Chains A and B, each alone.
Chain A
């Protein structure tokens, strides 16, 4: 068991013929993920990965022919909003958007539209999902995590890899790792993931990796205090970040005195979360 993706995932890759799409499709297939189709408008009818994966012009065609239930997006930022609308309209229930640099007004329209349709989005500007041993949807390196009972949710990319790697060094495995992305307006948030981890029988403890900007960590703390029974360890990046500067991620910014790391750490600690001073302390905080 796991959350969001597993061995029954039938994955469709949007932008499969681009550099990124091609490279990561190979990695996902090598990991054992069932990639059933690709979409690149104008390249329908081609086959990729030595004739193993058919390419379609539209998501609807791909869904009709191959029955995909998850879509992962590697298209450039300027086309990404349209890619998400298309997936939602074709009935895909879970969209994972890796693309970085999508205009925030595009994301507000996408998010509001997807909410109306009841479609779940992970990302954008995220590394995607990894259910070790079952499915890799996105760009998280498959070999840095082993199957186990720790659920991981994070706003970051390589920092998440650090945590997975540190867990693996201690022989601790992961149920599912969710990268929710570093943009100010995204899809699935901390609370959604905590709710799913709380219900997932194979997840026994959770690691939450936050960073400066916004108030999603504070909302997570509230949820944890009210609803979580499983133990949680956390880390918040950006304690030394200056205000008013975007720290690489579009959403990692302290604005008008809010979004500070110290406030997030305090909120999480008040909710009973053990907050690490640095990521390598995390495995020691779990059982």
Chain B
């Protein structure tokens, strides 16, 4: 789950990281008031959870409260990469001498958090990593010990930060580590961390991504979730404990298990079709879950066929079959269905479904071929 810039920076401020004075506004009038309070020059920043806000015109400098009002109105009427701008952040404008990148993320390969810094701030770190990897300094953090003071000094030295900034930089680096640690973040990033013309360090932009699996520990942060970035069917699926990801094909898939669900998508493609979604119904597969899953698949108007691929392991085939039957009764549809059911109690499951109007398949390959043929209209029984 991603946090907005204003949420991230507020969180950083709790850990002693200096951020510009500023507040968030939902309309132009509020923006004007905030600009009046801040005085002089302010920056108006679109709060949307995508990159490239600046290029899209979502970050503008205003020299008066009236200009702030006008620009805020413009930005609040924009869509950036299809996301509506619902809030703008009004920050005191900083005069910038130098821009630095500072971030922490999980290095899955090292199984440790890694702190990264670069003297080339203000651009995406991925771009720096590609174009000038020598400009990135990395320090691995022992998750049991935390960031050591010397590591922060090493980073400061590594990016050629003038020595008189090392102490405050150490506090910021440690604050960022604490913020990352305390929020169960998978990414905590200040980009840029600037040196102002008054020679102060200031976190001008901030970004945090939180671990969805840890949100139970952070109900206050979980409430900040912005649903605009998610597909409505993905949100609906989550309510039922399903993992659904929309794709752009025309064969809907219902599968138990994540690896098998991906494999089912792949094999559809292998035999010339195109999957409409990823869907893992998980273990159990009650009638309620299967019904919800089927309804979600069929909300996509592109879906021409639905392929069920169920491996009865712990989940028994007859249980799933009953779930499917109940779902078919509830969700009346003329969309053709192909089913492959194997493993524990598969035979009983097939019996239960024998009266249902479904095309059956023995193997995974057979199921995929049939689903593709049905979709293309050249299936012969």
Complex Cα spacing A252 to B109, Å: 14
**Contact across chains for A141 and B344 when beta carbons are under 8 A apart:** yes
11 A-B residue pairs with CB within 8 Å: A78-B217, A139-B313, A159-B259, A161-B343, A184-B106, A185-B111, A212-B262, A240-B268, A248-B261, A248-B280, A278-B365
Residues of B within 8 A of A77 (CB): 213
Identify the 7 closest CB pairs spanning chains A and B, nearest first.
Answer: A248-B258, A156-B259, A158-B257, A159-B259, A103-B214, A237-B262, A108-B143
Give CA–CA (A157, B312) in the complex, Å. Answer: 12
Report the separation of the CA atoms of residues A239 and B274 in the bound assembly, to the nearest whole angstrom.
12
**Which residues on A sit within 8 Å (CB–CB) of B142?**
112
B312 to chain A, nearest CB (A): 8
Q: Mark A117-140, 1 if CB is under 8 A from B, else 0.
A: 000000000000000000000011
A252, B245: Cα distance in complex, Å: 13
Interface assignment of B40: CB less than 8 Å from any CB of chain A:
no
Quick check: is B53 within 8 A (CB to CB) of the other chain? no
B267 closest partner in A (C-beta): A278
Closest chain A CB from B219 CB (angstroms):
13
Name B106's contact: one of A104, A141, A245, A249 (CB within 8 Å). Answer: A104
B109 touches A162 (CB 8 A): no
Residue B126 CB within 8 A of the other chain: yes
Q: Is the CB of B214 within 8 A of A241?
A: no
User: Complex: how many Å from CA A177 to CA B208?
Assistant: 39
Verify if B335 is at the interface (C-beta below 8 Å from A).
no
B interface majority secondary structure? mixed
**Are the CB atoms of A159 and B260 closer together than 8 Å?**
yes
> Residues of B contacting A242 with CB < 8 Å?
245, 247
Q: Which residue of A lies closest to B255 (CB)?
A: A158
Contact in complex: A249, B270 (CB < 8 Å): no
Whether B262 contacts A211 by the Cβ 8 Å rule is yes
Q: Mark A212-252, 1 if CB is under 8 A from B, else 0.
A: 10110000000000000000000101111110011111111
Q: Are B266 and A249 in contact (CB under 8 A)?
A: no
Asked whether A105 lies within 8 Å of B214 as measured between CB atoms, the reply is: yes
Residues of A within 8 A of B (CB): 23-24, 27, 77-78, 101-109, 111-113, 139-141, 143-144, 154-162, 165, 182, 184-185, 209, 211-212, 214-215, 235, 237-242, 245-252, 256, 261, 277-280
A126 to chain B, nearest CB (A): 11
For A158, what are the chain B residues with a Cβ–Cβ distance below 8 Å? 255-257, 259-260, 311, 313
Closest to A210 in B: B259
- Not counting A158-B313, A241-B265, A278-B270, a sample of 9 additional A-B residue pairs whose C-beta atoms are within 8 angstroms of each other reads A24-B314, A111-B111, A159-B259, A209-B259, A214-B109, A239-B266, A246-B243, A247-B258, A278-B368
Q: What residues of chain B lie closer than 8 Å to A252, measured between beta carbons?
A: 258-259, 262
| Residues on A with beta carbons closer than 8 Å to the beta carbon of B112 | 108, 112
A230 to B294, CA, bound (A): 44
- Given that A161-B313, A237-B266, A250-B213 are contacting pairs, would A105 and B143 also be in contact in the complex, using a CB cutoff of 8 Å? yes
Residues of A within 8 A of B262 (CB): 159, 211-212, 237-238, 240-241, 247-248, 252
Other-chain residue from A103, A238, A248, A280 in contact with B211 (beta carbon distance below 8 A): A103
With A108-B106, A214-B108 as given contacts, are A237 and B259 in contact (CB-CB < 8 Å)? yes
Closest B residue to A259 by CB, please name it. Answer: B108
CB neighbors of A among B199-227 (8 A) = 211, 213-214, 216-217
A248:B344 contact, CB within 8 angstroms: no
A261: B residues at CB distance < 8 A? 266
